[in-house]
């Protein structure tokens, strides 16, 4: 069952993303013969995943305050998710034929096969090798939450009740609880979810975000499919050959894929950077909403210092650069 | 002069951490130069990516920044995660996609792909290092020897019809105990010997638990008092490692305070409370 989870998560996040994109329609999309192109599926999934995690956070925090059981929390979440997915499915069926679906031509080539093999090499490593679990209590948190049916009341390493309790800042990080939810719905082992499914999802998110970047880089390219495949090959090789330090994002992607920091630095930060480009350079101000969502989703994923702060620094730096640039332009004109 | 040298050393370290290997650092710098060259083509995206990468890099290796982080935000410096703000991947991707676009003939493309792969693999450090790649022995992700001991512990708990059972044992066993059986309660957590107590979990250990961890680490020295310590902590089972006994060529005791020897499993000796 655990191996069906990625399909479940991708479908749920895609439908959820479609609902959100439906709410904030009229996002700029390339038009061809007055038929708008289908919104980028990767970006839709990404936004949907953010929404899933934010919804989870919005339910967990009051549940902690009200001392609700974890079972009840998952039931409420499942019902809400089902409703959102149903709405997403209705949206999809209604919008059938509204969008132009233009799949890439000639996408099977030697380079794309190579890129796929490199991706498989990364994904397979999660099944056959031990992850780096230093200073990590994710699996223990999942197991403790499910066995006690309480949220952050018991010490994950010891199993007994916390003597001094967990800080509010610590409680904000709800990603391990989301893994516990996934274990509950898939009825599989915690280690399978945390050490296999979660890193695979992080890798998918990483590829999704850089897929959006690659889409932009190869916009005017003639042999687009091959160029994209080449970029994905380079991305995979960079992931595999970037383990120069135990603190590098590439090392985290391969050895600590289940950690929140991996999602932050492997997916959210590059997406924030991409959004900054779209907002500040292409003036797509509607994307501000996705930017706010991307910044907000760092809170349930990792500690504020390792999530929100770096992403905030990234946005502020971009903003300052654009401001200085614009001021420089005006001064030049005068 | 000395201060200057220290600062230069700090800049060099920051740059090494940021770029990783000299090869990847060179690739990143080459990418920046390529972006700077491309920016003359009036591409706004490229220009902004170049400016962002340059500003972040210059800030990260600037002496005032290194001084401030080193002096006032030491925790942040240790994390070195601020270095991840560098857009290494987008820069490398952009440069490779532009360079590939220039290769028109098929043979040029083949040469380009092969040299790109070789460059990336040689410039970086492979993830497939023998020390970081250990094959999983079972689907619990627990070393097989430890798993055998844990299976026996669970059996003991079930035989005694206990929902929860407090145990105290060597680090190697305690590390995996709760992953295998959530009915096992430990007297202290992994964070105590990994040196990260009072992290986000905010568990502040009492002197008793800290002493217990130290006693288990230096087991032969504290052997006589371990039975009493275990009883004070309410342990059902006390588990000891055989290795120190083998090293000192001494037999393990049959009795430790109120705990009697029950059995030995793999490299562990299991004592149970009377």
Last residue of a domain, one of B93, B123, B153: B123
pLDDT for the residue B1 = 57
Q: Do B76 and A129 touch (CB under 8 A)?
A: no
More confident residue, B122 or A30: B122
B17 lies in the same domain as B110: yes
Residue of B nearest to A227 (CA): B97
In a domain? residue B87 = yes
| pLDDT at residue number B270 | 95
Of A129, A146, A245, the CB nearest to B135: A129
Residue B137 maps to a domain: no
More confident residue, A58 or B64: A58
In terms of C-beta density within 10 A (0-12 exposed, 13-18 middle, 19 or more buried), how is residue A108 classed?
exposed
What integer pLDDT is reported at residue A127 of this predicted model? 86
Question: Is B200–A132 a contact, with Cβ atoms under 8 angstroms apart?
Answer: no
Q: How far is CA A276 from CA A25, A115, B15, in A?
A: 20, 28, 25
Give the pLDDT confidence of B168-193 residue by residue, as tens digits.
999 999 999 999 999 999 999 888 88
Percent of chain B's residues with pLDDT above 90: 32
Q: pLDDT higher for B101 or A114?
A: A114
Question: Which residues of chain A make contact with B157, given a CB cutoff of 8 A?
Answer: none
Does residue B78 sit in the same domain as residue B180? no
Distance CA A131, CA A134 (A): 9
The verdict on B148 and B118 lying in the same domain is: no
Whether residue A221 and residue B97 make contact (CB cut-off 8 A), yes or no, is yes
pLDDT of residue B76: 60
Token representation of residue A291:
């930017």
Q: What is the pLDDT of residue A176?
A: 94
Contacts of B109 in chain A (CB under 8 A): 226
Q: Which residues of B touch A213 (CB under 8 A)?
A: 90, 93
Contact between chains at B48 and A281 (C-beta distance less than 8 A): yes
Question: Taking CB atoms and an 8 Å limit, are A310 and B101 in contact across chains?
Answer: no
Q: Are residues B155 and B104 in the same domain?
A: no
In a domain, B129, yes or no: no
Q: What is the pLDDT of residue A181?
A: 95
A73, A57 Cβ separation under 8 angstroms = no
Residue B202, in any domain of the structure: yes
| Residue B179 to residue A143, Cβ atoms within 8 A | yes
Model confidence at B232, pLDDT cuts 50, 70, 90, reads very high
Mean pLDDT over the full length of chain B: 81
What confidence score (pLDDT) does residue B174 get?
93
pLDDT value for A68: 92
Query: Residue B153: pLDDT band by 50, 70, 90 thresholds?
Result: very high
CA distance B106 to B213: 64
| Judgement on whether residues B48 and B8 belong to the same structural domain of the protein | yes
Find out whether A310 and A268 touch, Cβ atoms under 8 Å.
no
- Do residue B77 and residue B164 come from a single domain? no
Tell me: do B94 and B157 sit in the same domain.
Answer: no
> How much is the pLDDT for A239?
86
On whether both B38 and B159 belong to a single domain, the answer is no
The alpha carbon of residue A95 is apart from the nearest alpha carbon of chain B, in Å, by 32
Residues of A in contact with B113 (CB under 8 A): 111, 114, 230, 233
Q: Are residues B118 and B156 in the same domain?
A: no
Please report residues of A whose CB lies closer than 8 A to that of B89: 210, 235, 238, 270
Helix (H) or strand (E) holding B26: helix B22-39
Domain positions in chain A = 2-333
Q: Say what the pLDDT of residue A74 is.
A: 95
The pLDDT score that the predictor gives to residue A206 is: 95
Please indicate, yes or no, whether residues B152 and B119 belong to a single structural domain of this protein.
Answer: no
Question: How high is the mean pLDDT in each 10-residue block of chain A (334 residues)?
Answer: 86 92 64 57 92 96 92 95 92 74 69 92 88 88 93 89 81 94 91 94 95 86 84 89 72 89 92 91 88 95 87 89 87 81
pLDDT at residue B100 above 90? no
Q: Is the pLDDT of residue B237 over 90?
A: yes
Do B150 and B96 have their domain in common?
no
Mean pLDDT of B50-56: 85
C-alpha triplet A173, A174, A178: angle, nearest 5°: 150
In a domain, B163, yes or no: yes
User: Which residue in chain A is spatially nearest to B93 when comparing CA positions?
Assistant: A231
**Following DSSP, what letter does each residue of B107-162 receive, concatenated?**
HHHHHHHHHHHHHHHHHSB-S--TTT--B--STT-S-HHHHHHHHHHHHHHHHTT-
Identify the pLDDT of residue A226. Answer: 84
Higher local confidence (pLDDT), B99 or B230:
B230
Burial class (CB in 10 A: 0-12, 13-18, 19+), B29: middle
Residue A300, pLDDT score: 95
Inside any domain, residue B132:
no
Nearest CA in chain B to A312: B85
Instruction: Establish if B128 belongs to a structural domain.
Output: no
> Which of A323-332, B139-148, B199-208 holds the top average pLDDT?
B139-148
Count how many domains chain B has: 2
Six-digit token pair at A27?
Answer: 């996002």
Q: How many CA atoms lie within 13 A of B123 on its CB side?
A: 24
pLDDT at res. B80: 55
- Interface mutation vs chain B, best among A242, A256, A310, most B CBs within 10 Å: A242
List C-alpha distances in Å: B96 to A45, A106, A225, B240: 27, 21, 15, 57
Q: In this predicted structure, what is the pLDDT of residue B127?
A: 63
pLDDT of amino acid B238: 95
Burial class (CB in 10 A: 0-12, 13-18, 19+), A279: buried
**Among all chains, which residue has been given the structure tokens 């650069």?**
A321
> Comparing B273 with B80, which gets the higher pLDDT?
B273
Residues spanned by the domain of B241: 144-273
Please tell me the predicted confidence (pLDDT) of residue A53: 96
Radius of gyration from C-alpha coordinates of chain A:
21
Same domain as B181, residue B110: no
In b/e form, how buried is each residue of B211-231, taking b as 16+ CB within 10 angstroms?
Answer: ebbebbeeeeeebeebbebbb
Considering chain B, what percentage of its residues have pLDDT values greater than 70? 79
| pLDDT band for position B132 (cuts 50, 70, 90) | low
């Amino acid at each position: 069952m655990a191996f069906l989870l990625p399909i479940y998560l991708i479908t749920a996040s895609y439908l959820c993303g479609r609902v959100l994109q439906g709410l904030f329609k009229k996002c700029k999309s390339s038009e061809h013969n007055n038929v708008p192109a289908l919104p980028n599926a990767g970006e839709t999934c990404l936004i949907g995943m953010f929404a899933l995690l934010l919804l989870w956070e919005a339910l967990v925090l009051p549940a902690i305050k009200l001392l609700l059981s974890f079972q009840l929390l998952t039931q409420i979440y499942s019902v809400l998710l089902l409703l959102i997915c149903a709405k997403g499915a209705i949206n999809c069926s209604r919008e059938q034929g509204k969008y132009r679906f233009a799949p890439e031509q000639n996408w099977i080539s030697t380079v794309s096969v190579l890129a796929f093999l490199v991706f498989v090499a990364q994904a397979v490593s999660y099944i056959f090798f031990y992850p780096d679990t230093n200073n990590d209590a994710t699996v223990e948190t999942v197991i403790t939450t499910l066995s006690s049916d309480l949220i952050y009341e018991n010490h994950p390493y010891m199993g007994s009740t916390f003597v001094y309790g967990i800080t509010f800042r610590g409680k904000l990080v709800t990603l391990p609880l989301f893994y516990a939810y996934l274990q509950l719905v898939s009825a599989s082992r915690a280690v399978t979810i945390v050490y296999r499914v979660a890193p695979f999802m992080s890798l998918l998110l990483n590829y999704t975000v850089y897929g959006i970047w690659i889409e932009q880089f190869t916009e005017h390219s003639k042999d687009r499919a091959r160029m994209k495949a080449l970029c994905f090959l380079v991305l995979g090789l960079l992931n595999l050959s970037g383990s120069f330090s135990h603190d590098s994002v590439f090392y985290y992607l391969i050895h600590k894929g289940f950690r929140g920091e991996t999602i932050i630095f492997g997916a959210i930060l590059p997406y924030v950077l991409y959004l900054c480009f779209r907002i500040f350079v292409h003036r797509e101000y509607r994307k501000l909403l996705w930017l706010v969502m991307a910044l907000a989703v760092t809170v349930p994923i990792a500690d504020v210092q390792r999530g929100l702060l770096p992403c905030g620094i990234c946005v502020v730096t971009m903003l300052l650069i654009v401001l200085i640039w614009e001021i420089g332009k005006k001064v030049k004109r005068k | 002069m000395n201060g200057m040298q220290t600062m230069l050393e700090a800049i060099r370290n920051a740059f090494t951490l940021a770029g990783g290997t000299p090869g990847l650092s060179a690739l990143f710098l080459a990418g920046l130069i390529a972006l700077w060259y491309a920016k003359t083509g009036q591409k706004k995206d490229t220009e902004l990516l170049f400016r962002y990468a340059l500003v972040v890099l210059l800030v990260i290796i600037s002496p005032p920044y290194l001084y401030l982080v080193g002096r006032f935000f030491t925790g942040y410096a240790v994390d070195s995660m601020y270095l991840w703000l560098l857009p290494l991947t987008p820069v490398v991707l952009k440069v490779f996609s532009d360079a590939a676009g220039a290769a028109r003939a098929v043979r040029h493309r083949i040469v380009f792909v092969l040299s790109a792969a070789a460059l990336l693999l040689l410039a970086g450090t492979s993830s497939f290092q023998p020390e970081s790649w250990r094959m999983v022995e079972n689907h619990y992700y627990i070393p097989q020897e430890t798993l055998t001991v844990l299976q026996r512990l669970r059996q003991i708990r079930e035989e005694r019809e206990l929902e929860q059972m407090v145990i105290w044992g060597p680090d190697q066993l305690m590390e995996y105990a709760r992953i295998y059986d959530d009915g096992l309660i430990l007297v202290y957590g992994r964070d105590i010997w990994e040196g990260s107590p009072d992290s986000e979990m905010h568990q502040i250990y009492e002197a008793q638990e800290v002493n217990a961890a130290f006693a288990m680490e230096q087991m032969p020295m504290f052997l006589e008092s371990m039975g009493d310590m275990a009883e004070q902590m309410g342990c059902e089972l006390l588990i000891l490692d055989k290795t120190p006994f083998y090293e000192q060529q001494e037999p393990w005791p049959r009795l430790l305070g109120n705990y009697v020897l029950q059995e030995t499993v793999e490299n562990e000796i299991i004592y149970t409370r009377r």
